[in-house]
Amino acid sequence: MIRWRLRMIMAEKKISNKELAELSGVHPTSISKLKNVDEIEQISGRVLNNLCNGLTKAYRGRKENRIITPTDLLEYTYDGDDYYPTVSDEQPL
């Protein structure tokens, strides 16, 4: 399972949807939708990159020299040996 940690990352430094939208160029409505999910089905590389850049700018604005990477936003948990993807689950590379 892939867990989405945007809400936790934003809460750590009290980053608002509006602030992240301004710093990342991602629409505030999209920020709100992304923030309110625990598992993410898919996200484009462009949006993920923009979120990382915006969050890094927000942290630096709070005098913390931290670079936010996709690894900070995505957390992998092993589903176990009982999970077998179906044909509909498989995505072409």
Which pTM value belongs to this model? 0.82
CA angle 13, 56, 74 (to 5 degrees): 85
At 86 the pLDDT is 62
**What is the distance between the alpha carbons of residues 27 and 2, in angstroms, rounded to a whole number?**
23
- Residue pLDDT, tens place only, 23-72: 999 999 999 999 999 998 899 999 999 999 999 999 999 999 999 999 99
- Residue ranges and CATH numbers for the domains of the chain are 2-70 (1.10.260.40)
